[in-house]
Amino acid sequence: MKKFEIAVIPGDGIGKEVVPAALTVLNTAAEVHGGIRFDFTEFPWSCDYYLKHGQMMPDDGLQILQGFDAIFLGAVGNPRLVPDHISLWGLLIKIRREFEQVINIRPAKCFKGLCSPLVNPNDFDLIVVRENSEGEYSEVGGRIHRGEDELAIQNAVFTRKGTERAMRYAFELAQKRRGHVTSATKSNGIFHSMPFWDEVFNEVKQDYPDVATASIHIDALAAFFVTRPQMFDVIVASNLFGDILTDLGGAIMGSIGIAPAANINLNGKYPSMFEPVHGSAPDIYGKGIANPIGQIWTAKMMLDHFGEEELGNKILKVIEEVTEAGVKTPDMGGSASTREVTGEICRRLKAL
């Protein structure tokens, strides 16, 4: 019996609705599959916790998390009660940084039965590997002068280590998929960092002769997401480019409530963290209509991370059956509840 110890942080808002839904699916999957057990330990760290204790998690929070095989997180943030910079930096970003989760993986795929703006939604099935620790989101720079001479300088930081590890991750992922990596660049407009990015990409690709490659400027690439999605398998992108591309991916899939993500620690020193792309959605919290698919697909990514791809793929297959059958929450154009979608996924998993 394989056993996985998982730290569960439902967090705020609909995180408290979709996380239990995903845990139900994971338990059902384990039952059906046999030979696997999940031990979930739940932590109430959230904005509510902050209001009681003055911090998002206890002082030894990171030490506690360190012992787990993975962290499964819902959403963090309730800007009406706690400013975002406190809630995000006090939990989410703290974990990402301290646990060296340097890669952010975001798959995007159009499921049957969902409404996408694409002409041929079936062609849209890709993964963005986003560099998660440096690049354009750096703290290097500053502002000087006032008035008409005022000026702001923002430096992007691209290290060889950081760039190369994101690219290698993309190539290894592509080897398990359709064998193609696209590099998102902009070396015709950005003077230093992007030519460097291209150089590293051209070096790294020599080590993966079985993987086909393309290097495309980010502006054209964004347009091709919509007009020629069949050209993409794995895309490797800097922190900013990856961020923008994956929101576009969510829109193309039909709802942000579907999009999954994983923050991966590569050196094995710390656990990785699995959290969907969407936030706490305070506007729909408590109504029982949150789309659980993003969180459930995120659970599938956690299974992949554990090497349980076969089981993960079963979950993905069942998700698509359910959308195709029209069991959809309102954001997907249906009228089903979180509970109904989850129940239908579990029922079909058992019937596999």
Q: Which residues bind Mg ion (CB under 5 A)?
A: 279
> Among this protein's residues, is 137 annotated catalytic?
yes
Least spacing, CB of residue 337 vs ligand ATP, in Å: 11
Residues that bind ligand ATP (CB under 6 A): 14, 18, 75, 77, 256-257, 278-281, 283-284, 290-291, 294, 329, 331
Cα gap 15→285, rounded to integer Å: 9
> Among this protein's residues, is 3 annotated catalytic?
no
> Among this protein's residues, is 49 annotated catalytic?
no
Q: Which residue is nearest to Mg ion (CB)?
A: 279
Least spacing, CB of residue 294 vs ligand ATP, in Å: 5
Nearer to ligand ATP among residue 18 and residue 252 (C-beta): 18
Cα dist. 316→9, 174, 242, 301, 323 in Å? 23, 19, 23, 10, 11
Q: Which of 39, 84, 207, 219 is catalytic?
A: 219
Least spacing, CB of residue 276 vs ligand ATP, in Å: 7
Nearer to ligand ATP among residue 90 and residue 162 (C-beta): 90
Cα gap 274→15, rounded to integer Å: 12
Nearer to Mg ion among residue 279 and residue 312 (C-beta): 279
DSSP, residue by residue, 63-127: HHHHTSSEEEEEE---TTTS-HHHHIIIIIHHHHHHTTEEEEEEEEEPPTT---SSS-GGG-EEE
Do 134 and 159 form a contact (C-beta atoms < 8 A)?
A: yes
Q: Which of 198, 205, 247, 317 is catalytic?
A: 247
Residue 30, contacted partner among ligand ATP, Mg ion, none, CB below 5-8 A by kind: none
Residue 283, contacted partner among Mg ion, ligand ATP, none, CB below 5-8 A by kind: ligand ATP
Residue 14, contacted partner among Mg ion, ligand ATP, none, CB below 5-8 A by kind: ligand ATP
SS3 169: helix
Nearer to ligand ATP among residue 13 and residue 61 (C-beta): 13
> Among this protein's residues, is 169 annotated catalytic?
no
Cα gap 73→19, rounded to integer Å: 7
Q: Which of 243, 300, 304, 314 is catalytic?
A: 243
SS3 185: strand
Do 122 and 229 form a contact (C-beta atoms < 8 A)?
A: no
269, exposed or middle or buried, with CB in 10 Å at 0-12, 13-18, 19+? Answer: exposed
Least spacing, CB of residue 279 vs Mg ion, in Å: 5
Under 8 Å CB-to-CB from 323, ≥6 apart: which residues?
Answer: 111, 112, 113, 114, 293, 332
Nearer to ligand ATP among residue 308 and residue 331 (C-beta): 331
Nearer to ligand ATP among residue 105 and residue 236 (C-beta): 105
SS3 31: helix
Cα gap 163→292, rounded to integer Å: 33
Least spacing, CB of residue 293 vs ligand ATP, in Å: 8
Q: Which of 186, 300, 314, 328 is catalytic?
A: 186
Do 285 and 274 form a contact (C-beta atoms < 8 A)?
A: no
Cα gap 76→79, rounded to integer Å: 10
> Among this protein's residues, is 328 annotated catalytic?
no
SS3 237: strand
Residue 210, contacted partner among Mg ion, ligand ATP, none, CB below 5-8 A by kind: none
Nearer to Mg ion among residue 162 and residue 279 (C-beta): 279
Least spacing, CB of residue 347 vs Mg ion, in Å: 32
Least spacing, CB of residue 98 vs ligand ATP, in Å: 20
SS3 140: coil
Q: Which residue is nearest to ligand ATP (CB)?
A: 279
Residue 278, contacted partner among ligand ATP, Mg ion, none, CB below 5-8 A by kind: ligand ATP
Residue 77, contacted partner among Mg ion, ligand ATP, none, CB below 5-8 A by kind: ligand ATP
Q: Which residues are catalytic?
A: 137, 186, 219, 243, 247
